[in-house]
Amino acid sequence: MSVSMESAPNIAFAGLTAAGKTTHAKRLAAELGYDYVSATEILLEILGIEDASDQVWFTRLEEIQSVRGTGAIDAELEERLVSLSRTRQRTVFDTWALAWIGDDPMVRIWIESDLESRVRKCVVSRGRKRISPDTAKKLIQEKDEFNRTMFRTRHDFDLFTDRDRYNAVLCNSHLIPVATAAAANSGIQSFAPIVYAAAVCVMRANESSARILQQVNPQAVQRITASIDSFWDNGHELSNSREP
């Protein structure tokens, strides 16, 4: 179901490794009738790596981090992302940096997911090539720590804690209690409508719907702003840290 708007803004979609951001970014794009752009796929194109973007981190993490060390690769990646965001509408961008360096108007959505739930999702994502939880945790922590350092150096924001830039902070930690495909699929099916509803609330500046969405889903909707225009207006920000 596409959203009918004269000028539908782009969406910057982010979350730590294995939070489910790519799964939900692609699904949200399809539901909105949007295009989808992956920062990982652009990065691999820059590096000349043809591996599948959803599995390359399991096999070539050290190699990729080594060539990104100087920051030159990330500078080119970010330049491409910003350029694309300025020339396109109705696009979901699956990327960490764009929420911080992209131009407004833009909807910014962060998927919160604790480490243990991300480990479970990571284990399941390997399918028959399943890895141990300890191996998954090590990979996730190494990848996220590298990117945390990179973004602190380049843009002075903390990937682990800074969420103020986002219109919606949505959490799925509670939706995959065990590392099975069935639990993962159930979590996706439960979370996807919340992601869609949050995006539409922001784009349509629907404060009452945003408030209801948060009241009905207090675990999943940690924070949501009523509209893009009211992003810096604290009076429009709804947070589970205070009563509505």
CATH code at 22?
3.40.50.300
Query: Looking at the 3D structure of the chain, how many domains does it have?
Result: 1
Q: Is 80 helix (H, G, I), strand (E, B) or coil?
A: helix
The answer to the question of residue 233 being in a domain is yes
Find the length of the chain. Answer: 244
Residue numbers of the domain that contains 101 = 10-239
Rounded-to-integer distance, Cα 32 and Cα 199, Å: 9
Strand partners, 171: 112
Q: Say if 83 falls within a structural domain.
A: yes
Instruction: For the chain, give the mean pLDDT.
Output: 89
> Quick one: average pLDDT of 204-226?
94
Confidence of residue 7 (pLDDT cuts 50, 70, 90): low
- The DSSP secondary-structure symbol of 73 reads H
**Residue 130 pLDDT level (bands cut at 50, 70, 90):** confident
d(CA 95, CA 138): 22
Q: How far apart are CA 170 and CA 176, in angstroms?
A: 15
Q: How many CA atoms lie within 13 A of 243 on its CB side?
A: 0
Q: Kindly state whether residue 3 falls inside one of the protein's structural domains.
A: no
Q: What is the pLDDT of residue 3?
A: 52
Report phi then psi at 43, rounded to 5. -60, -45
Q: Are 202 and 228 in contact (CB under 8 A)?
A: yes
Q: Is residue 2 part of a domain?
A: no
Quick check: 185 and 121 in contact, CB under 8 A? no
pLDDT confidence band for 242 (50 / 70 / 90): very low
What tens digit of pLDDT does each residue of 29-53 get? 999 999 999 999 999 999 999 988 8
Asked if residue 95 belongs to a domain, the reply is yes
pTM for the structure as a whole:
0.89
Q: What is the pLDDT of residue 141?
A: 97
How confident is the model at residue 228, as a pLDDT? 64
